[in-house]
Amino acid sequence: MNDQTVSRQTFDEVMVPCFSPAPFVPDRGEGSRVWDTAGRDYIDFACGIAVTSLGHAHPELLKVLHEQGGKLWHIGNGYTNEPVLRLAKKLESLTFADRAFFANSGAEANEAALKLARRVAFDRHGEQKAEIVSFTQSFHGRTFFTVSVGGQPKYSEGFGPIPQGIIHLPYNDIDAAKRAIGPQTCAVIVEPVQGEGGVIPADPAFLRALREACDAHGALLIFDEVQTGVGRTGTFYAYEQTGVTPDILTTAKALGNGFPIGAMLTTEAIAAHFKVGVHGTTYGGNPLGAAIAHKVVELISDPAVLAGVRARGETIRAKLAHLNARFDVFKEVRGQGLLIGAELNARFAGRAKDFNGAAANRGVMMLIAGPDVLRFAPSLIMPAADLDEGFARLEQAFEDVVGAR
């Protein structure tokens, strides 16, 4: 086989089949548009999965990529580098945190957070304080610790014994949390909006109750902001809207706008438990990723960009309401900022994939979150013309699925 001649079919011949990619092959992107190898264009309401929040081929990010790429990509953690120090300072200036650890993905950021929480409890209280509280339907990544902590058993089944000391409670259930969090609790990990679980926002009273219970029992509160972070919900981090400050925050996805980088942010007192050699990474904190992330953070933390997220979120909700008025497909539209989930009503239960496929046929990339929820996570700076065009195409896709009305 000539290794230059490839197509979607090649995927089935050469790749591990743990993904089932769309029939077309994206080739190039600019802003909120993507072109496939056949030259067809798509309006991008997905951003990977909430990753390319500044769109594709953003000129300022390309400039940093080229500048830092010609200077220094990697140096290893036996040395530090200026881009990573600037990025840490920048993130700390925007958050409660005063210490940062960099990784390459959301799962690794969560792995670091969970290990750190266990270590803090071990050092302060002893090995009996090891229980991690998580929530059903939560998603925290695909490493073995993070699938075990995540609240979707399908991701941890079939891989052998699950690490001990993890419990799952119903999300948004204050009484259940108050009952379960106790002296044995080491940490509580929660998404401010469950993304993969169906775009379900946390009730602020629920988050406050978690904070109180953690404080009462000396447990750490971890906010997984891998999907909600870096402007996605209309503030730089979603916790800012909740009145609750976590002890540890994890962030990734949009942080590098597609360049793989994740971070765990925390306080000096907690960070002190990761002494030299206790945790590590080869690539985490490399100068190339850090330089790109610094520019991403600078651009997205602009109050005008964050206001634009909230405005675009309202526009999309209005457009979804219009689609619903015409087709009667949604039971509920929910989310925050530009992380929006539209749950299908009983007539279309289980058919999110059909809508997704029809959208792709009409030139729209979007997401689902489980079998019943259409998920929208477009660029935070999506031009109005693309947004309008995307919804015009989506209306045709809905006609394809539902029939003309």
Ligand X SMILES: Cc1ncc(COP(=O)(O)O)c(C=O)c1O
Whichever of 239 and 327 has its CB closer to ligand X, that residue is 239
Q: Is 191 in the site for ligand X (CB under 6 A)?
A: yes
Residues 19-58 that bind ligand X (CB under 6 A): 49
Q: Is 196 in the site for ligand X (CB under 6 A)?
A: yes
Whichever of 110 and 379 has its CB closer to ligand X, that residue is 110
Whichever of 68 and 227 has its CB closer to ligand X, that residue is 227
Q: What contacts 32, CB < 8 A, 6 or more positions away? A: 43, 44, 55, 56, 378, 379, 382, 383, 386, 387, 390
- Residue 337 marked as a ligand binder: no
Q: What contacts 246, CB < 8 A, 6 or more positions away? A: 96, 221, 222, 223, 239
Long-range CB contact pairs, 39-43, < 8 A, 24+ = 40/363, 41/363, 42/360, 42/363, 42/364, 42/365, 43/363, 43/364, 43/365, 43/386, 43/389, 43/390, 43/393
DSSP class of residue 246 equals -
Q: Which residue bears the tokens 């029992």?
A: 217
- Report d(CA 149, CA 136) in Å as an integer: 10
Q: Which residue is nearest to ligand X (CB)?
A: 106
- Report d(CA 59, CA 30) in Å as an integer: 10
Please answer whether residues 357 and 37 qualify as being in contact, where contact means their C-beta atoms are separated by less than 8 angstroms: no
Q: How near is the Cβ of 146 to ligand X at its closest, in Å?
A: 7
- Report d(CA 228, CA 4) in Å as an integer: 38
The correct pick among 90, 140, 168, 362 for binding ligand X (CB under 6 A) is 140
Q: How near is the Cβ of 133 to ligand X at its closest, in Å?
A: 16
Q: How near is the Cβ of 194 to ligand X at its closest, in Å?
A: 8
Q: How near is the Cβ of 106 to ligand X at its closest, in Å?
A: 2
Q: Is 246 in the site for ligand X (CB under 6 A)?
A: no
Q: How many residues bind ligand X (CB under 6 A)?
A: 15
- Residue 225 marked as a ligand binder: yes
Residues 313-352 that bind ligand X (CB under 6 A): none
Please answer whether residues 65 and 292 qualify as being in contact, where contact means their C-beta atoms are separated by less than 8 angstroms: yes
Catalytic residues: 139, 224, 253
- Report d(CA 167, CA 186) in Å as an integer: 11
Q: Is 198 in the site for ligand X (CB under 6 A)?
A: no
Q: Is 252 in the site for ligand X (CB under 6 A)?
A: yes
Whichever of 107 and 249 has its CB closer to ligand X, that residue is 107
Q: Is 224 in the site for ligand X (CB under 6 A)?
A: yes
Whichever of 114 and 382 has its CB closer to ligand X, that residue is 114
- Residue 139 marked as a ligand binder: yes
- Token pair, residue 177, equals 């949390």
DSSP class of residue 199 equals S
Please answer whether residues 372 and 343 qualify as being in contact, where contact means their C-beta atoms are separated by less than 8 angstroms: yes
- Residue 226 marked as a ligand binder: yes
Whichever of 68 and 146 has its CB closer to ligand X, that residue is 146
Binding-site annotation: residue ranges for pyridoxal 5'-phosphate: 106-107, 139, 224-227, 282
The binding site for ligand X (CB under 6 A) comprises 49, 105-107, 110, 139-141, 191, 195-196, 224, 226-227, 252
Binding-site annotation: residue ranges for N(2)-acetyl-L-ornithine: 142, 281
